[in-house]
């Protein structure tokens, strides 16, 4: 990793596209809290000076130092990638050192840590031969597998990690235009692993970013589209080929045609789920728009931007859903900002507002303001009209420029600042940002010093200050090229343990012959029940009667006539696998094990998929 020792500092400047309103108290709070938040993030990363996470390996982002109620002392692929996107931004904006910690070294440590984690076999699978292990959401902080029951796979992680690394390479090229060899040898192999995963698995079901709903997520799909567009652009710079990136038009077609709720006038967070208790009014599409944000994009760009009418309409619906939900919001009406949660039906920790989501409500508006001002025009249509009339009652359908544009944007700016003022109200004097805000008392609650909360504050402050990350290509031809008819295509990827060696990945020699076995269970279960498979194979937990099962079946193939749950498993061939099914009742927190044990003889690794069909039966049924 010493080859990465390039000075990347001072290569971005503040943008003129935001006009900050004068509020000295808020300005002072933001400056102070931003200065506290970056060191707080670094204290949650292993291997650094003044780290608060003893035992975490260098470059590993710990979600929170909290080890009980809740235990967040793990590293999540998603949270880590979002954190490192922020760290790269800070490096680009000239924040070279924080105390004794160099942000450049922090990024190098992350690179090595993630190269290693890509090779760790886990309950989701392995890197070789099918890449399934890349979808594992979290690991222990010493870079070992987490075997507990969890919502897996989560397909946003590889996409976000690819984007984080690609932005790091953008920074390298700006400072050192001749760095192609370093980027090609160190970064591209890791990036390509993740892009392969995106291209291969984008159209399969996975858990959403809150790790609760299995289906297709707007946030995940947006992240996947961005990653493939970025990957294609980087591949061209390196004279490489990015075959999985050819899936970008299909992903865009799926994104554009499936998530809009015409009746409710908002973007759906998830589709193709068995979830029946939610409206799918959710902050997720707002977070997705923030991730898709590109200061060079227009409001009608194919990847929905913060200034897009559908994004703004969703913002109104989401914020309004929390106005009379939390006592601390006091039923406030627009244009008063309020504390914001994840979704109105949330019951985690009794369902509270979060720092992340309240800050997102502000950041996406700062993004939109910058885009409107850069484009020097703002169009109000029937979709966005209700959003704008809340803030500027004289708004009507039409286009605005000049003084009219500035008057509307001033109203939006004041509204956005209101969400930051909510965070200010509920931030303790020492600047610690927990995960949540108690909906009744306003006291910080849940996981302490949440890394993502601090990172969210910093990105909000960057955008408010007119600091924007490099363009990811939202205006490029590929980013706006959608197929006419959506198809459930995929890329048949090839993975290798060897390719990430320059970044620090372990060399394991020639992997043994592997066979794909598809376990298919025909079983109709009531809502709130999950079907697991356990067995003497390591992917299934290695135990026929574990305390907690780890491998939940995937329900994406369920229909009314064929209620199929599946789990693909790449296993060493030949071998004998003993297994049984387990039914979880989420409400009661109980597990019922099937009485019988099944046996499958894994055949030769001849390239054919071996399918095993079962009809599980449980005691009392």
- Tell me how far CA of residue 98 lies from CA of 43, 165, 168, in angstroms: 11, 21, 18
Alpha-carbon distance 216 to 205, whole Å? 6
CB under 8 Å, gap of 24 or more: what pairs does 582-590 form?
A: 582/531, 582/532, 582/533, 582/534, 582/549, 583/525, 583/529, 583/530, 583/531, 583/532, 583/616, 583/618, 584/529, 584/530, 584/531, 584/532, 584/549, 584/552, 585/528, 585/529, 586/528, 586/529, 586/530, 587/528
CA-to-CA distance for 526 and 585, rounded, in angstroms? 9
In the sheet that 206-207 helps form, which strands lie side by side, from edge to edge? 206-207, 214-217, 270-271
| Residue 116 contacts residue 508 (beta carbons within 8 Å) | no
d(CA 578, CA 104): 48
Q: Which two tokens stand for residue 484?
A: 């006419």
Is 150 marked as binding a ligand?
yes
Asked if 12 and 170 count as a contact pair (C-beta separation under 8 A), the reply is: no
How far apart are alpha carbons 310 and 318 in whole angstroms?
A: 12
* Pairing, β 138-139 against β 590-593: unpaired
Q: Strands 436-437 and 444-445, how do they pair?
A: antiparallel
∠ CA(64), CA(70), CA(76), 5° rounding? Answer: 45
Helix and strand totals (H; E) in the chain: 14, 21
Whether 111 and 1 have beta carbons less than 8 Å apart is answered as: yes
CB 17 within 8 A of CB 466: yes
Q: State both tokens at 43.
A: 């204290």
Among residues 27, 211, 243, 345, which one is catalytic? 211
- Looking at residue 420, the DSSP 8-state letter turns out to be H
C-alpha to C-alpha distance for 470 and 472, rounded to whole angstroms: 6
Rounded to whole angstroms, how far apart are CA atoms 537 and 77? 25
Distance CA 112, CA 506 (A): 10
208 is catalytic: yes
Q: What is the DSSP string of 242-309?
A: -GGGGGHHHHHHHHHHHSEETTTTEE-SEES----S-----SHHHHHHHHH--TT--TT-SSPPTTSH
**Catalytic annotation, pick one of 108, 170, 208, 594:** 208
Give Cα separations from 496 to 77, 142, 200, 608 (angstroms). 20, 23, 15, 20
Task: Output the known binding site for substrate.
Answer: 150
Catalytic amino acids? 208, 211
Task: Output the known binding site.
Answer: 150
């Amino acid at each position: 990793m010493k080859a990465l020792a390039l000075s990347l500092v001072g290569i971005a400047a503040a943008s003129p596209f935001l006009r900050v309103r004068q509020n000295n108290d808020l300005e002072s709070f933001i400056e102070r809290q931003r200065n506290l938040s970056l060191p707080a993030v670094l204290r949650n990363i292993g291997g650094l000076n003044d780290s608060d996470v003893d035992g975490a390996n260098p470059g590993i982002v710990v979600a929170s130092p909290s080890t009980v109620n809740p235990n967040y002392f793990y590293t999540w692929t998603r949270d880590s990638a979002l954190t490192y996107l922020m760290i790269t931004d800070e490096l680009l904006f000239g924040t070279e050192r924080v105390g004794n910690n160099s942000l450049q070294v922090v990024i190098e440590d992350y690179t090595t840590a993630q190269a290693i984690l890509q090779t760790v076999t886990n309950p989701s699978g392995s890197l070789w031969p099918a890449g399934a292990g890349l979808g594992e959401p979290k690991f222990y902080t010493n870079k070992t597998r987490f075997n507990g029951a969890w919502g897996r796979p989560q397909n946003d992680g590889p996409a976000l990690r690819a984007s984080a690394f690609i932005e790091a390479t953008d920074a390298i090229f700006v400072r050192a235009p001749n760095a192609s060899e370093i980027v090609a040898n160190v970064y591209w192999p890791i990036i390509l692993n993740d892009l392969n995963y995106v291209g291969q698995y984008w159209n399969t079901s996975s858990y959403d970013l809150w790790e609760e709903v299995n289906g297709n997520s707007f946030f995940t799909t947006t992240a996947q589209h961005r990653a493939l567009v970025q990957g294609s652009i980087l591949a061209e710079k390196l004279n490489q080929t990015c075959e999985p990136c050819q899936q970008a038009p299909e992903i865009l077609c799926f994104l554009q045609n499936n998530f809009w709720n015409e009746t409710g006038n908002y973007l759906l967070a998830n589709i193709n789920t068995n979830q029946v208790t939610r409206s799918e009014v959710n902050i997720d599409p707002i977070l997705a728009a923030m991730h898709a944000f590109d200061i060079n994009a227009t409001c009608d760009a194919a990847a929905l931007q913060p200034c897009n009418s559908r994004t703004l309409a969703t913002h109104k619906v989401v914020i309004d859903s929390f106005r009379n939900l939390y006592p601390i919001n006091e039923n406030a009406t627009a244009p008063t900002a309020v504390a914001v949660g994840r979704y109105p039906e949330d019951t985690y920790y009794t369902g509270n507002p979060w720092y992340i989501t309240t800050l997102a409500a502000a950041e996406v508006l700062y993004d939109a303001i910058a885009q409107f001002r850069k484009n020097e025009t703002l169009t109000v249509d029937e979709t966005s009209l209700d959003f704008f009339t809340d803030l500027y009652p004289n708004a009507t359908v039409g286009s605005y420029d000049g003084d009219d544009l500035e008057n509307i944007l001033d109203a939006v700016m004041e509204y956005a600042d209101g969400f930051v003022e909510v965070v200010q109200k509920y931030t303790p004097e020492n600047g610690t940002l927990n995960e949540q805000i108690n909906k009744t008392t306003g006291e910080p609650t849940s996981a302490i010093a949440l890394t993502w909360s601090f990172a969210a504050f910093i990105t909000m402050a960057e955008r408010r200050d007119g600091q924007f990350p490099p363009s990811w290509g939202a205006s490029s031809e590929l980013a706006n090229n959608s197929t006419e008819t959506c198809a459930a295509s995929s890329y048949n990827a090839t993975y290798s343990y060897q390719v990430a060696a320059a970044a620090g990945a372990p060399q394991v020699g020639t992997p043994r012959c592997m066979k794909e076995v598809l376990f298919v269970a025909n079983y109709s279960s009531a809502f709130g029940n999950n079907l697991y498979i356990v067995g003497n194979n390591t992917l299934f937990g290695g135990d026929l009667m574990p305390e907690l099962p780890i491998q939940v079946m995937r329900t994406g193939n369920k229909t009314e006539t064929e209620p199929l749950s599946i789990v693909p498993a790449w296993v060493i061939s030949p071998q004998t696998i003993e297994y049984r099914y387990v039914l979880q009742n989420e409400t009661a927190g109980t597990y019922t094990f099937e009485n019988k044990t099944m046996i499958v003889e894994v055949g030769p690794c001849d390239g054919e998929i071996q399918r095993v069909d079962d009809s599980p039966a449980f005691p009392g049924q």
